[in-house]
Amino acid sequence: MARDTVETHFAEAVTALSPGAPRDPGMPVREGTTLTGARCRELFEFQLGSRLLDVTSRWLREQGEGFYTIGSAGHEGNVAVAAAVRVTDPALLHYRSGAFYLARSVMAGRLPEEGLRDVLLGLTASAEEPMAGGRHKVFGHPDLAVIPQTSTIASHLPRAVGVAFAIERARQLGLAGAWPGDAIAVCGFGDASANHASALSGLNTAAYASYQGLAMPVLFVCEDNGLGISVRTPDGWVAAARHRLLEYFEADGCDLADVHDVARAAAEHVRRHRSPALLRIGTVRLMGHAGSDVELSYRTKREINADLARDPLVATARLLVEAGLTTPDELLTRYETTREHLFKMAMESSRRSRLTSAVEIMEPLAPRTPEAVAPASTVAAASREKAFGGRLPELEGPLTLSQAINRTLADTLAAHPDVLVFGEDVARKGGVYGVTRGLQKRFGAGRVFDTLLDEQAVLGLALGSGVSGLLPVPEIQYLAYLHNALDQIRGEAATLSFFSRGAFRNPMVVRVASYAYQKGFGGHFHNDNSVAALRDIPGLVVASPARPDDAASMLRTCLAAARTDGSVCVFLEPIALYNTRDLFDDGDNGWLSPYAPPARWAETHIPIGRARSYGDGRDLTIVTFGNGVRMSLRAAVRLTAEGYSCRVLDLRWLSPLPIDDLLHAAELTGKVLIADETRRTGGVSESIVAELLDAGFTGRIARVTSADSFIPLGDASRHVLLSEGEIEDAARKLLG
């Protein structure tokens, strides 16, 4: 449906309206509704602005000055949702929520032109757009409590649940969160998106929490136009498929009076009962999915005209005219005046500066302030004494990797009341491997708790908590389980700072039990050696400690980076090394490390992107990480006994890679063997080789890796995983 068709229909339909007898603007526009004439007129202005922004976006594209044409035409009834909630209620909007955004902008005390200009600057990809700064066209603004969303389908629903959870949890813990204690989260999405796994995860998580009596103040708003681009949503599907534990409301989004009253009732229910609700707003889609969409290729003229006949802008005009509050001529004049003004504003916006360099584009991606991330040297002694029951970890003697992580989490929970530790089995059980054992007992179920069995839900809770002022430390039980929820990190966590120029952040440290080599507990789902999907996410920090002392220091670094810089960190914990005690011989305790007291945290600090070197060999550098560190050290000792001089470089950080340390270690020996427990194709070793070559390294390079295979059960795994013997053989070959 072309924009001129929609505009012509509006003009003709409004011209044909018959004015009613004049009515007091303070009276309802129609019997049986609470929408007053004055309020109706005010909301119509936002609907009109939204419609004409869509018209302008198509016009800009025709001029070669616009870059985004997915609009809100037909969905302008969502303005009533904005009117039904508070300016301080965090909102995660559907990408057709133009009228909501314009209303929220004015409700927050801004001039009407400011909201319009925000959108126009986004349409023209201007670097001066106040949210994404030309990186994407989003609805978002920190002063409006509108958290920007990209077009990843429904991926924001788990986050919205996390926001609602965080509102209540902050209040219960007596913390000053990002939102008022009586706020509700508002989450808009489309009918097609309602079928997506992430949407179902969000809806189910909200219902699950509510079923257990937990407060979950989230209002889901499904704007149902019956189409997902060209794929039809069956009539009544959203209502039929809704979660039976969610309070359900339904309104005609093309009737402002109806959606106004129903939206108020839905918002009031969520606010009063602190429980989730689903509001379905029946809408139409005008002007197609986007400017390039040819609707006649999948819809009949009759269907298109039926939607046009329900145009919500015409319907609101009818309410105003029939209530005697305006005339057709006044409305048409207002339409043309606003249209002309927006076209002028659009041309002015198109002349604003745009992004001109990779450096400028990437500036908000992953800010780093290393000097601020270094931990403080002192922590309140009394809180530590209480947290550890008088037995401080530095007095326990050498610890395992698992114990070191546990003690670091305890220190963090004791020092920072906004830190939350959660995931599957982390509370009473203390995790499958006992890493979080005892933390819930010491710090309470409000801060250390179990979640439902859904990785998307776990990460969604973290996303919502992080953007709401808390510091979440979620656990993913196994690396293989992370992949089904990876878009929560890729599409939501890693992009938020980028698409908001740092105005919104979702700091978090995601702990993941990782890698292979478990004894007695095999199989693919509990042994996974693939990290490629994490390493290609821009800005993501991927930590991979091998030793207990490194694990403690690196976890403190990740937590500090999350708090200070808003970093999103994934902390890969080698399962097979959790309880390892020995390095070379049984009983040597060579893999244990003492726990550093707070007074030594600054000197033992490990900055992001710094490796650890073992030995001073001049013949060969073995570059490795994770389980490869222990294997390489053992191999290096045997090679030394044969007369070879080796050093081992533990990368420790897989993203960003410690390039400077890598190059320095490589140049010292002129020969580099990469011992990589991930797969040969797409594994870490590929990047290491590329970095060495890009830097002009002229020495010899070889690599040994695990096979391009999933990991089988039992002893068969030894045939596809990197081994000490392979490291030794490759080293001898490289040494010649």
**Measured between alpha carbons, how far is 258 from 263 in angstroms, rounded to an integer?**
8
Query: Among 526, 605, 664, 719, which one carries the catalytic annotation?
Result: 526
Strand partners, 36: 28
Sequence-distant (6+) residues with CB within 8 A of 184 are 85, 89, 164, 167, 217, 218, 219, 267, 270, 271
CB 632 within 8 A of CB 624: yes
DSSP 195-253: GSHHHHHHHHHHHHHHHTT----EEEEEEE-SEETTEEPPTTHHHHHS-TTSEEEEEET
Cα 682 to Cα 533, 606, 692, distances in angstroms: 9, 27, 17
526 annotated active-site: yes
Which 3 state secondary structure label does DSSP give 277? strand
Sequence-distant (6+) residues with CB within 8 A of 536 are none
Residue 379: φ, ψ to 5°: -135, 150
CB 650 within 8 A of CB 551: no
CB 198 within 8 A of CB 187: no
Quote the DSSP letter at residue 19: -
**Measured between alpha carbons, how far is 629 from 175 in angstroms, rounded to an integer?**
41
Strand partners, 280: 222, 250
CB neighbours of residue 635 within 10 Å? 27
Separation of first and last alpha carbons in the chain: 72
Taking phi first (over 0 means left), then psi (-120 to 50 degrees means alpha), and beta for anything else, what does residue 408 get? alpha
| Catalytic residue positions, numbered | 526
